[in-house]
A and B are shown apart, each in its own frame.
Chain A
């Protein structure tokens, strides 16, 4: 019995490997695109690999199933996980040693120029991008070092019931319409129209994450890296930041932003005490979860595009969540590569998290169906390494909460600054940094 089963597994493995190879041959010409990491393409995946993950919540459930399924396919490989709460901080520290797992998610703080020192090359972007999305995001000098776990669309999580109570029927098409809607929510319901999550901070950085939503231009980030005044009137970043500013200034956010709480905000939106929170699509399953826990209807949680239209339709910039990469010091690179490929191609992880699949052929998850129905166009943003460098040099921190907090403080009249003063200061820092980065 045991032997028969095993034989079946071997046959299956062989078949899958064959399919994998055919796919590789069909898509690439250099030969090492589909399977195998860098120079280890002919090695058979074997050994124990350690996978670092940020998903402390599902590491003992979903990921355990994945490990079992993967083990069934590659009996010589055992996958172990290590889930880290402060993923970014801990992994960055561990990267100064050689022990940072076999497979890891590339921390956002690692400069692209350093990729070659830490991660195993996965292939050429020209080959990989035929099959996968977001390849550019981890490509440095013609070599790709990571594959995205899944992609995030950006938009706004909202409570449909609250919108209904406020008598709102259609989705807002302009920032003014959104603000009118929020004012209706404030007047007619008990809900806080917009919850900033100021204290936790990171949910405030959406104006940067939504770059591309106004223009629909996939090169918006690249253009910003050379634009000396991206916060000037008429620029995309100006429009997005102004929306944040106006919502707060018109009193549509919570009373005291400094005492907000992210974990609690999930419950608040699920129970209809919050109208909207602009977040990536990854947040949808978490909010629905919160609704189930709170005993309200998960279907009340909706997802809408940012209130801007270009060429007559909504635009949703799509970018990768974390990129998975192989530790350059790993002893089991073939196994690590097999795991990454399996996660991206076969695991169905993107459905679980409600994300845009990395695999180009795969379908969008059910959670994004409503969103798709609004006629939104997905824009896969071209990343810009220079933008990162300028951002770091300027100390503005587009992905950090600090300047958005200044904006919120100014909008609620706490700091005495005006919107224009903040934008002028940002423009100055930005143009100085462009000059010194060169």
Chain B
């Protein structure tokens, strides 16, 4: 941060400070009615939030303490037995290994997104076309993507045909989904294709909010493109990068759509959430499944907390 030109920083801080005293003055004078009004505006979103988020989550905690089958009118309380069962059954938590494929893929995904975002923030030919192409997959419905890729990976499907153009002998391509050693790579690849657009847009937005004057200054000082990225862009979009990593970790723990629709979790592609869904709705073990959902929630919270500790959120005073 030290290599940022001083005048710029001052002007930024000054701008940020202007509204603050005004706000303080206002709140001191608030009448009851004035204080009520924001709550009235918040009423609808709060009711929606509580009804559709907090009540179901509270219910889930409650179910996780019972042996409910999902339908019976009576729920037998079993205490923490569901949690004990989860931690004493390796077959239940072994599926976390599958998440590692997606975690690795999301690192690749973030790197690619960062690369393209940087590239397209400079002057490039057909800039907007490429932006569209990269972001487009994120807009497609996940079900449609899964079906498209099902055909893409079929023996003799699109991928095999394309590889054929490059001289791959017919019939020598592996079974992209049929081979249990490859299936998770194929699925994680699909996931990268789909979600890279989101990371890309986040990064691009952050990069474009960097004032253009800084680039000019850097260019005058003779900084190369790499140096511009390393000392200008990367530090200023650090919060977004760290957010992307949190999303990547929680996302790869909770992978569901693509392996579920494409393979129904078959052939070693079962993820934690697929397994939870199957326990709840195929084996009628809603209690155990709720406990697993609670555990997943706690793990994601833990990961976020650890990440916050390791990479503290700092004020970026550049942009």
Contacts and interface: CB of A to CB of B under 8 A. Distances in A.
A438 interface: no
Interface stretch (A111-119, A150-158, A225-233): A111-119
Interface in B125-157: 150-151, 153-155, 157
Contacts of A89: 281
B282 A409 contact: no
Given A117-B73, A415-B180, A199 B266 contact: yes
Contacts of A28: none
B277 to A, nearest CB: 11
Nearest to A261: B150
Q: Is the interface of B mostly helix, strand, loop or mixed?
A: loop
B283 A92 contact: no
B169 to A, nearest CB: 16
Nearest to B264: A201
Contact of A92 (B71, B157, B264, B278): B71
Given A117-B72, A199-B263, A405-B267, A258 B281 contact: no
A395 B154 contact: no
Most A CB contacts (10 A, CB to CB) among B153, B263, B264 go to B264
Contact of A255 (B69, B72, B155): B155
Given A92-B70, A414-B178, A414-B179, A256 B154 contact: yes
A96 B266 CA distance: 30
Contacts, number: 87
Given A258-B177, A395-B279, A415 B71 contact: no
Contacts of B265: 402
Most B CB contacts (10 A, CB to CB) among A201, A256, A258, A415 go to A258
B175 interface: yes
A325 to B, nearest CB: 14
B304 interface: no
Interface string A242-268: 000000000000011111000000000
A96 B71 contact: yes
Nearest to A404: B266
B285 A258 contact: no
Contacts of A402: 265-266, 278, 282
A415 B264 contact: no
B264 A401 contact: yes
Interface string B258-299: 000001111110000000001101111100000000000000
Contacts of A400: 278, 282
Contacts of B178: 255-259, 412, 414
A392 interface: yes
Contacts of A109: 70-71, 281-282, 284
B183 interface: yes
Q: Is the interface of A mostly helix, strand, loop or mixed?
A: loop
A409 B183 CA distance: 13
Interface residues on A, range: 20 to 34
Most B CB contacts (10 A, CB to CB) among A95, A114, A200, A395 go to A395
Interface in B27-74: 69-73
Contacts of B70: 92, 109
Most B CB contacts (10 A, CB to CB) among A111, A118, A259, A415 go to A259
A397 B282 contact: yes
A85 to B, nearest CB: 13
B283 A397 contact: yes
A283 to B, nearest CB: 20
A198 B263 CA distance: 9
A110 interface: yes
Contacts of B155: 255-256, 259
Nearest to B180: A414
Contacts of B281: 89, 92, 109
Given A395-B285, A402-B278, A198 B71 contact: no
A289 B128 CA distance: 49
Interface of B: 69-73, 150-151, 153-155, 157, 175, 177-180, 183, 263-268, 278-279, 281-285
Closest 5 CB pairs of A and B: A256-B178, A258-B177, A259-B154, A405-B266, A256-B155
Interface of A: 89, 92, 95-96, 109-111, 113-114, 117-118, 198-201, 255-259, 392, 395, 397, 400-402, 405, 409, 412, 414-415
